[in-house]
Amino acid sequence: MKKKISDLIKKKNKQKIVSLTAYSKNVASILDKYCDIILVGDSLGSVLYNYKSTREVSLDIMIEHSKSVRMGIKKALMVVDMPYNSYRNSKEALKNAKKIMIKTRCDAVKLEGGKKIYEIIKTLIKNKIPVMGHLGLLPQSDKTFKFKGKKKSERDKILKDALLLERAGVFSIVLECVETSLAKIVTRNIKVPTIGIGASKYCDGQILVFDDLIGLNPINYRFVKKYANLRDQITKAVSNYSKEVRKIKFPNKKNSY
Ligand code: KIV
């Protein structure tokens, strides 16, 4: 049965929420059985396109990948990242969020930030567009990629922002690279689920970038656990193939007509 946003909220304090990113149909169709949420993240900018930052990701790229992901999902909730510069004010955000919802048939959009985008998020929700928040490390706007929650001012701001987003009506909040005790405090103080990435076991759910989980990305991040090492497996397969082609072992009779 297709999952609903209301089911997700009910999981808080009962069952952990499982979430992963996907950028294409084939991957989404594998994740669908195991995930509550599949996110078409703008991380695709660095993962697929080698962009220096997610700021370079366009609305059209997000929509095309999301259309592909949509074809692979039957049950999970599908959330699409609104790219940088697609929500500079309420009017623009509403126009672009509507475009994303209509063209991709996703269930919700995700926006990065707190107080600064409070009115924008309220406008989307008033217009029946479900919104997922994103606090902590904000790849679209942060200059340095360090974990958040060392300084008191930073901790206070993140908690305040989480309470504001809850008030605006978001159905969940991603906490990215947030110090453990702060993630615990935020999670305990809001009624909607928190989804952590590098934000400890105390969040209501977890999300990872799929390419990191399967070990395709050669970079190691502290917050990632590689559940497979596909880079090694692909290297072995391609190396064997190249040797066999050069030694005229492939194709053999069985592979020929
Ligand atoms: O873009 C993305 O993949 C994300 C996740 C890391 C949460 O925002």
Check 112, 166, 176, 179 and give the catalytic one.
176
Q: Which residues pair with 206 in a beta bridge?
A: 18, 196
pLDDT recorded at residue 85: 95
Ligand 1 pocket, residue 80 CB under 6 Å = no
The kind and range of the H/E element at 195 are: strand 194-197
The tens digit of pLDDT for each residue in 67-76 reads 999 999 999 9
Distance 162 CA to ligand 1 centre (A): 17
pLDDT recorded at residue 20: 98
Residue with CA closest to ligand 1 atom 2: 41
Is 176 an active-site residue? yes
- The residues of the chain scoring below 50 in pLDDT are none
Distance 99 CA to ligand 1 centre (A): 20
Cis peptide bond prior to 251, omega within 30° of 0: yes
CA distances from 174 to 29, 137, 160, 196 (A): 23, 10, 15, 6
The kind and range of the H/E element at 77 are: strand 77-81
pLDDT recorded at residue 202: 98
pLDDT recorded at residue 41: 98
The kind and range of the H/E element at 91 are: helix 90-104
Spatial contact of 42 and 61, defined as CB atoms under 8 Å apart: no
Query: Please, which residues have CB within 8 angstroms of residue 30's CB and are 6 or more apart in sequence?
Result: 72
DSSP string, 151-187: SHHHHHHHHHHHHHHHHHT-SEEEEESB-HHHHHHHH
Ligand 1 pocket, residue 212 CB under 6 Å = no
Distance 247 CA to ligand 1 centre (A): 44
pLDDT recorded at residue 70: 98
pLDDT recorded at residue 201: 98
Half-sphere exposure of residue 203: CA atoms within 13 angstroms, side-chain side: 26
